[in-house]
Each structure stands twice: as C-alpha cells, then as structure tokens.
Amino acid sequence: MLLRPLLSRAKLLGSRPSSSLARLAPLLRSQSRPYSSSVDSSVEPIRGMDLGVAHSKLLLRTVASMRGNMELQAQGVSEGDSKKMNMCQAINDAMRHTLATDDTAVVFGEDVAFGGVFRCSVGLAEEFGNERIFNTPLTEQGIAGFAIGMAAIGHTAVAEIQFADYIFPAFDQIVNEAAKYRYRSGNEFNVGGLTIRAPCAAVGHGGHYHSQSPEAFFAHVPGLKVVVPRSPIQAKGLLLAAIRDPNPTLFFEPKILYRSAVEQVPTDDYVLPLSKAEVVRTGKDVTVVGYGAQMYALENAVQMIERDMPGVTCELIDLRTILPYDADTVAESVTKTGRLVVAHEAPRTQGFAAELAAEIQERCFLRLESPIERVCGLFVPHPLVFERFYMPCAVRCYEAIRRSLTY
C-alpha cells in the first residue's frame, strides 16, 4: 500500500516510477538538502522558480514592510522599534514580555531551564529565576496535569511539550480536564491561564516520531483553542494573545520555521487576533487556504499558477487559528471566487481540511464552480527517507489549483 503513493509522487516530481523503490535512490541522492523536501527546480511546473521560505514575499523582512502592516498599525507598534528575529527568537520575546508583565507567569517543560532543545527559552531562567523557569521530568501527562493545576489556582502557565508527537500521553489531561474545567464547574473555576506550546510538523529529517501535525485531534474538542503561526511576527503576536486569552490554548509551532523564517519584529508588546484568518494575497478566481509552514508551499503554487495562466489571480488565506476557526472570511472569499483549495501537512483522511471543506460546501454550495480540493500529507506514518514524497509540496498544490480552475 505504501509503494503506490510513493511511486505516483515520484512521477509527479519528474522521475520515472519503477517496480522497485531502489530505482528511486539516484533521485533521492541527487537532491541537495538542508531539507529532504527540496526538489529539482528544473522539472515542471517549477521551471527555475525559487521556492521556499528564503524567497517568500509573505515575510516582512524590512522596516518599511513591517510598518505597512495594517494589523501592527492597529496595535500601535508599527512605528516603534523593531529587531530582526527568527521565529524562535520571536517566541522567546513573547515569553519574556509575559514574564516581565505578569508576576504569576511560569514557563516549564523538559529542558526548558537551559533554553530547550530548540533554544526558544534561552536566557529566561537567568533573567527571571529558576522558580519561574524550570525543568520537568520526562512525563508529558505530568507536565499537562501540573500546568492545569497551576492555571486552576490563578497562575499563567506556559508549558512546553518538547515535540508535538509526544503530546499524546497528555491527551487525557488536555481533553478531559483542561477543556472541560470551566464547563463542569458551571464557570466557577477555569484554567484559562493555560497555554501549551509544542514544536510540530516536518523538518526534513524527523521521521515518524518528530514530524507529526496533530492539530486535528484537538480541533474536535470544545473548550480548547488551537493556533498555528506562519512567521516570527505572527508567532509573537499570536502567542501573546494565546497566553492572555481566557481559555486553554494549544500553540503548535512549525519547527522548520524556527530558524528559516526571519522578519523585522516589533520589540514592543502586541497581540494579534485569535480566530481571525488573514487574507495575505487577494485574488478573484480561486480561494487557497492553509496555515503554518504550508503557507509557503501554497504561495509558490499560486505564483506558478499566475505565471502559467495569465489573467488568473488567487486569493491566499492563512487561517492562523484552527479552533475556533474563521469560516466567515473563507466563505466570503469563496462566494467571490467560486473555488476552494485547502492544504495542510497532516494526513488527508479526517484532516482539518475535511472540516473546512464541509463547512464551506454548506455555506457556499450554490456559488461553487468546482469541487473543493484538498492537498494533504499521505495517509501513511510520516516517513523519513521518503518525506519528500509525503509532503503536500508546491507542485501538488499547483496541480490541485489547476484542476479547480479548469474543472
């Protein structure tokens, strides 16, 4: 069952499928990587286009572009000081603001006190002390349970699960305790001060235990909020909003962006709205929706479509919050364009794209010009050497958008 999708994926990327996976070895060896998801830029439909985060126009790399951002203008921070930060540094800055302004705030998790495996909490213990920044035993269920207890007695608890793949031992605590705490007490008690951070998604060499995207598991749970940022500016503003929101929130951080995504980030305190999608590129012919690191594959797919189909424009939307998600913005766009393509790294079967597709079909059925397209990870455990075939890359997104437009 695994062989067929991998061979089909090889054909899509320009190599000839064979009866043996061994025939794919030369193709895999030929790819230079920092990441195994890199592809041959000479194949159709890429044809020499620069792909990926390093060339993205979604990132606000200059002071001028940062100051032109309407959300930052609305927060009153666009004209203030800014600093070049990657996403890891932006998350660190958000936690620093929280600790400096909220005496009840604590940050904890495995290896957090010395900076964490990704260095997102580096320097915080030295600045705020070991009573507020501390390590925990290797027990995700214990981390979540302890965080719930801290939040229940009035603390702002920022807990880290070292990899999102290991959040499942904490599933019972998050789903049956944190999510239901307010409801079962009739709003007498709550754990709204709880935020759980977790690095998620593919990184090019993580394999099946360090690459998963579990957001859909939690998007099924009333009482939680689920957020996935795409960039440093977004990460800082959304994390501060998540920490201050009066509901327990899961904050999934695409770890491939920790160092690769760099922006000019305001140094002042600011929040970005939860449950509000952002239209990052306007268009009239097709609505394209994603979140997190998938936004960069979608950006490249849109660029290739607009190059190859003159006159076509694509509306690109970043959901940002998965629960509760902003169906209104997506429906408004689809009412205009008549077409929808949704993409995410998690497997297609029962993935979040299915929820969004069903919701938009109900709202926009009479306006749709083509079936809603979903571009997702394959329904297999996240592979190591074959990760490039698993990923919903720019080529697969391009083909889905083209199918929608030519239906």
Residues forming the active site: 140, 210
Nearest to residue 314, comparing CAs of 349, 292, 351, 341? 341
Across-strand partners of 156? Answer: 105
Show Cβ contacts of residue 324 under 8 Å, excluding neighbours closer than 6 positions.
225, 275
